[in-house]
Structure 1
Amino acid sequence: MKLSLSFFTGILCLLSLATFGQSISPLTKHPESGFRGLDTHGERVVWVSGTRGTVGRSTDQGKTWEWVGPKEYSDTDFRDIAVFSKNEAVIVSAGSPAVILRTVDGGKSWEQVYHNDDPEIFLNGMDFQGNRGFAIGDPIDGFFQLLQTTDRGKTWTDVSGSLLLFAEPGEVGFAASGSGLQLQGDNLWIGSGGSFAAVFRRNEKKMLMYKMLTPIISGAASQGIFSLSFWNDQIGVVVGGDYMNDQHNEHNVYLTYDGGDNWIKPIQPVGGYRSAVKYITKQRLVATGTSGTDISEDGGQHWNTISTDSFNVVGKSKSGKRVYLAGSNGQISVLLWR
């Protein structure tokens, strides 16, 4: 009976892989570093950022890489990166002091455009839409920290107090993949965890802030929403779980079809803790984490685990034909559909 069950399980897995026709292929490995920042530009440009001040840049779809991290920041963990071209990018650090650096020459030189040595500052990630962007940080004195830029990160303004990003005791953000916030259309979305797993929605036109609780597992410092992705102002997904128990897959992924007012559990969940999720198309989504990578082909209702390799972050080319994954072991891979 056990042999039969294993046999049929294997057949189903093979059929699933054949149906979706995808493969994950290694591109390069930088074993001295771990990556949590990843962004792309167009169809050919990919950048990554991570520990030990490491920044990687490829202009040929990941076939070859230049390591262009700022040498004077070799002890800094750059948890997120935003890319505007093959030469222009912004990186943000985790921990104190918090720094944001910017390059316009492909990493040959870096300019420090933000510095904060408050011992409590901890920036988790950033997101841009055109020239406008935000960076989010853990709460200080009961409010999540929020920085705003309107010039592609050349200058930053602290807008924490004006947005009323109130945090409950024990509520935090996560710097697991830089995707705990998203600037999409007229809305800024922010996910939280720890004591509460909530989604903040700030409407940029109406200047209204909403905070909506989600059913994602929470209550401990290692639990909550680690990543979110919205297709439009109504349709979105949140993923997370417990990074201390990354095989556990209950209450790790939820969907919304009404802008976060209600959250729906998928029919088939992701395979475990997931630190990053992204819409590739309206129907195709990819989620990844230290216990594996999942794909959904029906808008997030059914997820299939295609690999149990450990990754932290996911990004896509402009067309979505290439999806990139990077992880704590320095591995950078590409997910392709055949």
Structure 2
Amino acid sequence: MGSTRRTGRVRRTSRAAAVGVACAAVLAAPTAGSARAATPAPHWAIKDTGAPGVRFRGLAAVDRDTAWLAGTGGTVLRTTDGGAHWRNVSPPGAADLQFRDVEAFDARHAVVLAIGENEASRVYRTEDGGATWTESFRNTDPAAFYDCLAFFDRRHGLAVSDPVDGRFRILSTGDGGRTWQVLPNAGMPAALDGEAGFAASGQCLVTSGPKDAWLATGGGAHARVLHSTDRGLTWTAADTPIPAGDPAKGVFALAFRDRAHGLAVGGDYRADQPSQRAAAATADGGRSWRPAATPPPGYRSGVAWLPHSRAAALAVGPTGTDLTTDGGRTWRTVDTGSYDTVTCTLDRSCWAAGEQGRAARLEG
């Protein structure tokens, strides 16, 4: 596919709690005619990464202090002071690679995915905060193109490739990313003509709990979400109301707050094309999806539930950030900055990242 398509940790502080609790309430509050209008709303505070030429589509936040970024030019950055300083911990010899996903377990342990044709798709792992890296997987099948990875816990994880021989290919690890195995495809439904994943935000493959995983697709006649309840061995597929039927359209990102409640966002990534019905929600684990009554106004590539919330979430894209406070039924734009990916952590912090070296943390 084209380059655009290839395209956790509790630490509670009073300030972090204030941000998480206030976010949905304050952002959703009226902005005039009340005392609350004078209260500064939580906002994205830009954190200078020192990498203005890099586009960060990979983001893994551990807590309000520690976060990892992965992007173009084989770049991996890490902060342990809330974004005040970023350390370049890129794997050596990776300057020609495009990192599109990163999963971090703490400040020392992380796994990053590089995307691309043939051997450009690789997985690297570090146990010392990026001081050293081990290449744990390199694709040798010219038909495979890996898009996203996700972990259930510190040991068990999956990575997904666009269809090979008519079915999405799944990699599995049971040792924290040290080794990977291609899973049998007998339990994977046939892919639609033109169907693929989008490596736009590291959120085309997500997990919840010890065994449930969901895979987002586009490019085919329908934008689908595939669900596995056994760590990737078998999958079922469901259509979503997000438009598809074109290589640039489909579901780009997913977020599940538990096994039942999930959000899907996407649209058409082309800047000159509208993205109607760019969000949907499920309450039955992805068996059925309902369109947002008031969707985001444009294409969105990342989505995350707000910490400890049953109804509030953020969606991001090149034209802004949107907030829902009713579980994805309605969305409204709260920021117009460009971001590709977003994530929130258990200590009630949220982070976003995107083009031109941009990284931000929600503050207020």
TM-score (norm 2): 0.84
CA RMSD of aligned residues (A): 2.1
- Residue 246 of structure 1 and its aligned partner are, at CA, apart by 6.7
> Any idea what the Cα deviations from partners look like across 1:235-268, whole Å, max 9, x if unmatched?
1111000001477241110111122232222232
The residue type equivalent to 1:192 in the other structure is T
The residue type equivalent to 1:26 in the other structure is I
Name the residue aligned to 1:298: 326
Equivalent residue for 1:217, pick from 222, 243, 264: 243
Name the residue aligned to 1:60: 81
Query: Tell me, which stretches of 5 or more residues in structure 2 are unaligned?
Result: 1-28
- Residue 317 of structure 1 and its aligned partner are, at CA, apart by 2.7
> Any idea what the Cα deviations from partners look like across 1:159-216, whole Å, max 9, x if unmatched?
1524324211101100001101112123111110001211111111896521111111
Contact 1:246 1:291 in 2 (8 A): no
> Alignment identity in percent?
34
Q: How does 1:52-201 map to 2 (within 5 A)?
A: 52-96=73-117, 97=119, 98-130=121-153, 131-185=155-209, 186-195=211-220, 196-201=222-227
The residue type equivalent to 1:334 in the other structure is R
Are residues 1:331 and 2:358 paired?
yes
Equivalent residue for 1:318, pick from 346, 354, 357: 346
How many residue pairs end up in the alignment? Answer: 325
Q: 1:194 to 1:20 in 2, by over 3 A?
A: farther
Q: How does 1:212-251 map to 2 (within 5 A)?
A: 212-245=238-271, 248-251=274-277
Contact 2:267 2:300 in 1 (8 A): yes
Contact 1:147 1:160 in 2 (8 A): no
Q: 1:233 to 1:315 in 2, by over 3 A?
A: same
1 CA distance for matches of 2:91 and 2:320?
31
Query: Tell me, which stretches of 5 or more residues in structure 1 are unaligned?
Result: 1-11
1 CA distance for matches of 2:276 and 2:47?
32
Q: 1:305 to 1:290 in 2, by over 3 A?
A: same
Q: Secondary structure at the match of 2:73?
A: helix
Name the residue aligned to 2:10: none
Name the residue aligned to 2:45: 25
Name the residue aligned to 2:59: 38
Runs in 1 of length 4+ with deviation above 3 angstroms?
12-20, 205-208
Q: Secondary structure at the match of 1:71?
A: coil
- Residue 118 of structure 1 and its aligned partner are, at CA, apart by 2.4
More strand by share: 1
Q: 1:160 to 1:74 in 2, by over 3 A?
A: farther
